[in-house]
Copies of this chain bind each other. A is one copy, B any other.
């Protein structure tokens, strides 16, 4: 193999490893935040601030590595697309971390009062969402458009759970105003999870774009205007 391409490939591998590490951190943060809520145990989130710092540091590292690679190796075609996508996915993962932090803030409101109801839908939503994050990154680093498609389809389940939870909590609030604050906190947590799932969908769309050179973000827009580089 040509030496230049070998250097590019080594750097692409490093980028992939960093993205996988970021996804792992983001997943752990979601898990800890929901564990705190379910177990009502603040120790569950002890690791979260440190994980957020690592995620933030990795975000900057990925950007630096990508820019250096673009500037020094001037990659083309698939490699170029991969690197530009990596800088975008990077931001998605960092925001997933931010949303996990938002969840821990809402959990704090909930732990100050007795439980409102047994939590079933929310942990399920969190589990689905974590799986979407994990699989979207796997789809991207392994160039697996089929896996990416399953992530995109799973989003409907997350949305359905969010809507179901919303309707259920609305009935609680209407029946008893003392439940309003807790119900609102649960609604907001479900919205944060929904947004995390949306970020996973964005990553999955980039994964498909990478492999097929086809932009699936807006099926109706820009058809036939695939970048030919």
Q: B-contacting residues of A (Cβ < 8 Å)?
A: 53, 56-57, 59-61, 63-64, 66-68, 70-72, 74, 76-77, 80-81, 84, 87-88, 91, 94, 170, 173-175, 177, 180-181, 184, 187-188, 191, 202, 215, 217-218, 220-222, 225, 227, 229
Q: Is the interface of A mostly helix, strand, loop or mixed?
A: helix
A202: B residues at CB distance < 8 A: 91
Number of chain copies forming the complex:
2
B174 touching A64 by the CB < 8 A rule? Answer: no
B191 touching A229 by the CB < 8 A rule? Answer: no
Given A56-B217, A60-B222, A71-B76, 15 extra CB contacts under 8 A: A60-B225, A61-B225, A63-B84, A63-B215, A64-B222, A66-B84, A67-B84, A71-B77, A71-B229, A72-B229, A88-B91, A170-B181, A173-B173, A177-B177, A188-B191
Complex-state Cα separation, A63 to B221, whole angstroms: 13
A177 touching B173 by the CB < 8 A rule? Answer: yes
Min CB gap A102→B, angstroms: 11
